[in-house]
A and B are shown apart, each in its own frame.
Chain A
Amino acid sequence: MTETGAQLASWQSCVIADIVQQTPGIKSFFFWPQRPFVHIAGQHVDVRLTAPDGYTAMRSYSIASSAIASPTLELAIERLPDGEVSAFFHDVAEVGDEIEIRGPLGGHFLWPQPAMDPVLLIGAGSGLVPLMAMIRQRRAWAQDVPTALLLSARTAQDVLFSGELLETEASDPAFVLSLAITRETPARASDFARRIDSAMIKDVVARLPQKPEHVFVCGSNGFVNIATDGALLAGLDRSVIKTERYGG
């Protein structure tokens, strides 16, 4: 297991190069780091905002981009109802602003290297972000390791990166996309119209050629508990499941 620069990561100023509204609640922010770094898909950065009186606010955000595929660093930030930092990004931040970022960080929730055995990704809402970095890294390296994504969202328009996901599925026979749409009827017959449960995870596992050897789950704590309990009931081994839960 590599430590991937966690020891070396120091704060640096990054300029916002672009801002894109991705879903009603999520915007992507693209940054130019002063000192570019290469991260492994699944890693995060810490972001620090400083007020004129010296007060600072720090949060961790997963990286959405793949280091090889994108020259900028992409963070997809969901606006939280009472968010201090997410509200700043959604309401105040503009292209050209400088933001302090430290990374890449995290040495556990990482796309496997080498990637040989089937991978199952399970996410909800902005929990897709580190999983998307994995999908993008796999694609940028032209890897053909069988990979399934089970993604939960309220409606089709809440599906982050939906165009890119559908396009990846259409062009890559080793990538399977399954959506669990909880508040409307999904458009595709292969998708599910309910919350994630163990039967659904079993169905998605059956869409892979073999049982997954790596399972990555990301979302709120409640979602992650439901998804991991479901994965265990579906017969997946505890030791292959890695989780990332939103913090405070």
Chain B
Amino acid sequence: MVTRGFTGRGSGGDTAKRVPPGQHLVDNFPVLTAGPTPTVETADWKFTVKVGPKPHKTWNWAEFNALPKTQMTADIHCVTAWSKLNTRWEGVLIEDILADAGLERPTDFVLAHCYDNYSTNVPLADLLSGKAMVALTYDGKPLERDHGGPARLLVPHLYLWKSAKWVNALQFTTRDEPGFWEGHGYHIYGDPWREQRYTND
């Protein structure tokens, strides 16, 4: 349905193909969080990989930073309809975390957990092959608290609520268990190119 009198500014030119349906480009970096912004000091920071309820391996900040680092430049897409192109991150790829933990493919599904008790689910296949990382820097600088610092999950090919801020654990689960927003009406998978915003999209 065409809206009377609306022309819009369009997404324009070469970048149009990189903007999923219903999204618009922003230059700033909006912040959306369901609760208070947690303060996590790197001295207290820990990251754990669990298989089911059982912790398999835990790293402190220094140990985690000693893992191989990878740079990633990615377009990111938030379900609230903004997209941002060419965001630059550095962190540890999920396959490098699993290799250090001596794990291959314990199950097919992962639930990410966070310092603010947030959680989100991602199939393991979407975390491997260089598709996802635990990001430690954004745009060459340590990740700010507002954007999930000191560390956040980054899964740029899915809506950004999957890229959990203040992440502190990846838990392998036997089935695809909904996380926080997935249990509050949002899509279980969240592919921006298929506009999987809400549960039955």
Question: Judging by beta carbons under 8 Å apart, are B1 and A245 in contact?
Answer: no
Rounded to whole angstroms, the CA-CA distance of A132 and B5 in the bound complex is 30
- Check B199 for interface membership: any CB of A closer than 8 A: yes
Rounded to whole angstroms, the CA-CA distance of A229 and B184 in the bound complex is 25
Question: Judging by beta carbons under 8 Å apart, are B26 and A4 in contact?
Answer: no
- Check B51 for interface membership: any CB of A closer than 8 A: no
Rounded to whole angstroms, the CA-CA distance of A52 and B199 in the bound complex is 29
Partner of A51, one of B6, B35, B181, B199: B6
Question: Judging by beta carbons under 8 Å apart, are B28 and A248 in contact?
Answer: yes
Question: Judging by beta carbons under 8 Å apart, are B81 and A3 in contact?
Answer: no
Chain B hits for A225, CB < 8 A: 37, 146
Chain B residue with Cβ nearest A92: B5
- Check A1 for interface membership: any CB of B closer than 8 A: yes
- Shortest A9–chain B CB gap in Å is 7
User: Given the known A-B contacts A13-B1, A105-B185, are A247 and B33 also in contact in the complex, defined by CB atoms under 8 Å?
Assistant: no
- Check B45 for interface membership: any CB of A closer than 8 A: no
Q: Digit string of B33-64 for contact with A (CB within 8 Å is 1, else 0)?
A: 11111000000000000000000000000000
Rounded to whole angstroms, the CA-CA distance of A229 and B37 in the bound complex is 8
- Shortest B33–chain A CB gap in Å is 6
Partner of B3, one of A46, A49, A53, A238: A49
Question: Judging by beta carbons under 8 Å apart, are B36 and A241 in contact?
Answer: yes
Rounded to whole angstroms, the CA-CA distance of A243 and B146 in the bound complex is 13
Question: Judging by beta carbons under 8 Å apart, are A50 and B1 in contact?
Answer: yes
- Check A6 for interface membership: any CB of B closer than 8 A: yes
Chain B hits for A13, CB < 8 A: 1
Q: Which positions in B face A, CB cutoff 8 Å?
A: 1-11, 21-24, 26, 28, 30-37, 78, 80-82, 116-117, 146, 181, 183-186, 197-200
**17 chain-A/chain-B pairs, Cβ below 8 angstroms:** A6-B199, A49-B8, A51-B3, A51-B7, A52-B7, A58-B22, A84-B9, A88-B5, A92-B5, A92-B6, A107-B184, A228-B36, A228-B37, A241-B36, A242-B34, A243-B33, A248-B24
Q: Which positions in A face B, CB cutoff 8 Å?
A: 1, 3-4, 6-9, 13, 46, 48-53, 55-60, 84, 88, 92-93, 97-100, 105-109, 221, 225, 228-229, 231-232, 238-239, 241-243, 245-248
